Amino acid sequence: MGLYHCEGIILRTRGFGEADRIVTLFTKEKGKIEAVARGARRPRNRLVGVTQQFSYLKALIFTGKSLDQISQAELIKSFAPLRDDLLKMAYATWWAEILDVFLPLNEVNSEVFLFLLAGLVVLEKVPDPMLVSRAFELRLLKYLGYEPVLDRCVSCQKAEGPFVGFAPTEGGLFCRSCAGAAGVNLIPVRPAALSFLRDLYQADLRELARRPVDPALGNELGQLLFTFIQLRAEKTLKSLSFLQSLMAWTPPEADLN
Ligand SMILES: [Zn+2]
């Protein structure tokens, strides 16, 4: 039993018992943790507002035998605009699910924490999150140790190309001769899309948010990254199908800026 202070972002919440809420909190100090917020589903409870998805909070946590418990919590930033906009909520939920699936509990990773925080700040303001999300997905893969190989053929290791596509099962590009021999399933990727994708490793999210969005490019990179992430996750990512259905449904005018 003990108490500790932390600051974190709520990745996920779920109801527990009659009035409680269990939150999955990605903290700077302790990595991903789960804690119960007692009474947080009662309207007048002091934890109601603080323990919503994507809230960035400071908390005092009481370590219990089975479940940790949020003893006190103070909002640092609510990220309310992410919950008020359906598309942004879908993107933020997708990012949160990637982290929830790939991050083990109680493993400190302050670099990823700060990256998520920076990403949510950009997501809150960007008019069209498509390319920002592609950069976020790619960088997250790198941070989590699943960096796709984009600078050489993953089979023969030659960097010259020409590359015919990306093999999600192998986690990288295939050159023409290896692709023919291996018979793997490839996602075609145009040279222009590939060079854009490589640049995303270095791209500043704030700067990227100001660039015009090319929906065709975003979709092309999305097909590659979504398939790869889904495959690595080894479970159905619910937020992804929701995001994809929303993207398919968005009227074309919304893609123009
Ligand atoms: Zn090759």
- The CATH number of the domain holding residue 52 is 2.40.50.140
Query: What local confidence, expressed as pLDDT, does residue 127 receive?
Result: 93
Do residue 209 and residue 120 come from a single domain? yes
Q: What is the pLDDT of residue 257?
A: 47
Please check whether residues 31 and 117 belong to one and the same domain. Answer: no
The rounded Å distance from CA 178 to ligand 1 centre is: 4
Q: Give me the domain span that covers residue 147.
A: 81-154+158-255
Do both 57 and 145 map to the same domain?
no
Tell me, yes or no, whether 140 and 88 share the same domain: yes
Distance of CA 176 from the midpoint of ligand 1 (Å): 7
Number of domains in the chain: 2
Taking the C-alpha atoms of residue 85 and residue 92, their distance in angstroms, rounded to an integer, is: 10
Q: How far is CA 170 from CA 6, 22, 185, 186, 235, in A?
A: 38, 37, 10, 10, 18
* One domain, residues 141 and 44: no
Do 56 and 86 share a domain, yes or no? no
Per-residue pLDDT of the chain (257 residues; tens, 9 = 90+): 699 999 999 999 999 999 999 999 999 999 999 999 999 999 999 999 899 999 999 999 999 888 999 999 999 999 999 999 999 999 999 999 999 999 999 999 999 999 999 999 999 999 999 999 999 999 999 999 999 999 999 999 999 989 999 999 999 999 998 998 777 899 999 999 999 999 998 899 999 999 999 999 999 999 999 999 999 999 999 999 999 998 876 555 555 54
Look at residue 182 in the predicted model and tell me its pLDDT.
73
Cα 65 to averaged position of ligand 1 atoms, centre (Å): 53
pLDDT recorded at residue 144: 93
* 118 and 208, same domain (yes or no): yes
Compute the distance between CA of residue 129 and CA of residue 227 in angstroms, rounded to an integer: 19
SS3 75: strand
pLDDT for 230: 96
C-alpha 161 to ligand 1 mean position (Å) = 8
Report which of 43, 44, 40 is spatially closest to residue 52, judged by C-alpha positions: 40
Last residue of a domain, one of 40, 57, 78: 78
The confidence score (pLDDT) of residue 184 equals 87
Rounded to the nearest angstrom, the distance between the alpha carbon of 183 and the centre of ligand 1 is 12
What's the Cα-to-Cα distance from 203 to each of 15, 89, 97, 145, 210, rounded to whole Å? 38, 23, 23, 19, 12
Q: What is residue 77's predicted lDDT score, i.e. its pLDDT?
A: 97
Query: What's the gap in Å between 196 CA and the centre of ligand 1?
Result: 21
Do 51 and 87 share a domain, yes or no?
Answer: no
* CA 159 to ligand 1 centroid distance, Å: 8
Residues 63 and 86 reside in one and the same domain? no
Q: Ligand 1 centroid vs 142 CA: distance in angstroms?
A: 22
How is residue 8 written in tokens?
């974190």
Domain boundary among 78, 101, 118: 78
Last residue of a domain, one of 78, 101, 124: 78
Whole-number Å distance, alpha carbon 181 to ligand 1 midpoint, is 9
- Whether 230 contacts 167, CB under 8 Å: no
